[in-house]
Structure 1
Amino acid sequence: MAIELVTGHSGAAHVSGADAGAMHAGICGSDSYVLGAVPSVTMSDANTLTIQPCDLMVEGRHVRLSGTNTLSIRSGAQTGKRNDLIYVRYTYDSSTGVESAKLGVKEGTTATTATDPALDNPSSVLDGATIADVAIARVSLDALTPTATWLLPQLPTLAALGDSVSQSIKFTVEVGKNGEGDTVNIRGYVIGPDGAEPLAVVSIRWVNPKAFNSTAWGTGIKVATMQGWSCPIDADMLASSSSTSEYYQVINDGIFFRTSTTHSVGAATWHYGAMVFPVQRA
């Protein structure tokens, strides 16, 4: 049995890349990611791929691409398609203990349908591999025309996760603004990180103080407005009330009360609904 205080002074050099890598993988995940903004990857000409500066987390190892990095891509065939993979190669020299990283190109095979080539060293650094290749971009060649695509997912920051994983939605109540006596209890939360189709979960209970007539499939009554969020689709939810024709609808940032039939809504009628719908930042 052995125990070691890694982040502590021991009087001798003892912290290794494997120590830092294990900690990073435990926090960030064991796969590979881009930290911060996704870099631009472009073909500056038919045979030159350009990757702009970025920071990567490659199976627990922090790899930085400084300046503008260029790699040579062999021309495609007049007919047929081909995929080339751009990879980061991690290398550990067991004789010196030196670790390093470099970029490389794994060329695919020209065919009617392009497929990604198998990397030469697919084993993981976290499993003790002394050489490990991780694909970060793809160059797809359709005959002589190359197109570059970034592959690694973006790792969200803790600040972004804390702001968007579960947060309350602020609403502006639109009914009863002039003292009509409407009662609106509305509460909503956004679940899921930005960029991963977050969902809004909203419950609403509106009590109208006075009777009114509602027109079938009319524009309805705007009950509340979401602040900072909007719905990319028109989402409907049946409202629990004395009439089964009543429902709430989300259009952009507004929540509307509508009916599918023309009828009179009595005074002091309550309309309750619970909705789940996709949202995006407004």
Structure 2
Amino acid sequence: MSCELVTGHLGEKHINPEDDAGLTAGILGADEYVLVTGDQLAINVVSANSVTIGTGDLVMQGYHVTCQKPTTLTITNGAQGMKRNDLIACRYTKTTAGIQSADLVVIKGTATTGTPVDPTYTTGDIRGNVSTHTMPLYRIPLDGITVGTPVPLFNVLKPMQSVWDSLTQSGDLSLGGGWVTSGVARWKRVGDMLILAGIIKSNYAVNPSAGDVLFRLPTPAKSRFRAIVGTNMWWQSIVMEAAAGSNTVKLVGGETGTYNAGTEIVLSGLSVYIG
């Protein structure tokens, strides 16, 4: 049959690694990542010919690999006057009998008196039944017999909580000064929108002019933002605007005049597209 209920009881064994990898790749993406678990596979150079990779997890094309204990790997000694790049990698293999495995390995580069290059390695489509695939984790530069600082080559996939937090930041609006000097106003980011709420107050000693800055957004507007808002003076409203690419919200001409001391300008429910 062309389709199968994976999460279900069919009366026979039917779930395989490809099913799980397909679901994982669909959620996380089909690329390769180190996850925020354990030591995040952090590297420690122990000596001139030994490194240790900490605990953690990675995902290759949807296939999950876990390292529950630190792994010590041997680096072949360098030679005086020569330079070399080695790679620390996770290597996936599949035997002709269908047995799959993944291990951390060292791929030795070629020594040179010039500029070293990374060694070659085999890659392939794991779901396409390839026998070997390699995910580089670190470059180990060697200059003579000295092991340099390891260079990470992987992307870290942040948990969904941190992604949500980055999309739902919040803070206080920065007031413009001059005509507007006080008030309590907040912004909250939800996806590609900024939601504004609060009340700002005018400075009784200064009458407004077209172009006066009311407040500043934490990030520029993606497209022009314009809004008409009410005040606590029933006969007067305020028109404000921010140009595309600007974070400065200004008073629009035609809405200037004399206001009472402490005129309150209501920002409740305003939305700004920030892309």
Does the residue aligned with 1:159 lie in a helix, a strand or coil? helix
Q: Which amino acid aligns with 2:51?
A: L
1:51 shift after superposition: 0.4
Does the residue aligned with 2:91 lie in a helix, a strand or coil? strand
Does the residue aligned with 2:26 lie in a helix, a strand or coil? helix
Partners of 1:113 and 1:30 in 2: how far apart?
33
- TM-score for the superposition, normalised by structure 1: 0.65
- Corresponding residue for residue 144 of structure 2: 143
CA contact (8 A) 2:216 2:249 kept: no
Matches within 5 A, 1:1-282: 2-37=2-37, 38-95=40-97, 97-111=98-112, 112-119=114-121, 121-146=122-147, 147-164=149-166, 166-171=167-172, 182=182, 186-189=186-189, 206-212=200-206, 238=248, 240-241=250-251
Q: Which amino acid aligns with 2:250?
A: S
Partners of 1:42 and 1:144 in 2: how far apart?
17
Partners of 2:248 and 2:165 in 1: how far apart?
30
Cα displacement string for residues 221-266 of structure 1 (whole angstroms, at most 9, x for unaligned residues): 9x7999xxxxxxxxx95553489xxxxxxxxxxxxxxxxxxxxxx8
CA contact (8 A) 1:175 1:182 kept: no
CA contact (8 A) 1:138 1:149 kept: yes
Q: Which amino acid aligns with 1:22?
A: G
Query: May I ask how many residue pairs the two structures share in their alignment?
Result: 225
Sort the Cα spacing of 1:203 and 1:172 in 2 relative to 1 into closer, same or farther, 3 A. closer
1:186 shift after superposition: 4.9
Partners of 1:276 and 1:114 in 2: how far apart?
48
Mark the structure with the bigger radius of gyration.
2
Sort the Cα spacing of 1:63 and 1:72 in 2 relative to 1 into closer, same or farther, 3 A. same
Q: Aligned-pair RMSD on alpha carbons?
A: 4.0
Sort the Cα spacing of 1:14 and 1:78 in 2 relative to 1 into closer, same or farther, 3 A. same
Gaps of 5+ in 2: 208-212, 219-245
Cα displacement string for residues 113-172 of structure 1 (whole angstroms, at most 9, x for unaligned residues): 2221110x21121332122111122211122221323322111112222222x2141327
Partners of 1:153 and 1:33 in 2: how far apart?
5
Q: Which amino acid aligns with 1:141?
A: L
Partners of 1:239 and 1:4 in 2: how far apart?
55
Does the residue aligned with 2:150 lie in a helix, a strand or coil? strand
Q: Which amino acid aligns with 2:6?
A: V
Sort the Cα spacing of 1:118 and 1:173 in 2 relative to 1 into closer, same or farther, 3 A. closer
Q: Which amino acid aligns with 1:86?
A: I
Does the residue aligned with 1:49 lie in a helix, a strand or coil? strand
Sort the Cα spacing of 1:168 and 1:49 in 2 relative to 1 into closer, same or farther, 3 A. closer
CA contact (8 A) 1:76 1:142 kept: yes
Gaps of 5+ in 1: 193-199, 214-220, 227-235, 244-265, 278-282
Q: Which amino acid aligns with 1:110?
A: A
Sort the Cα spacing of 1:49 and 1:276 in 2 relative to 1 into closer, same or farther, 3 A. farther
Percent of aligned positions that are identical? 30
- TM-score for the superposition, normalised by structure 2: 0.66
CA contact (8 A) 1:89 1:104 kept: yes
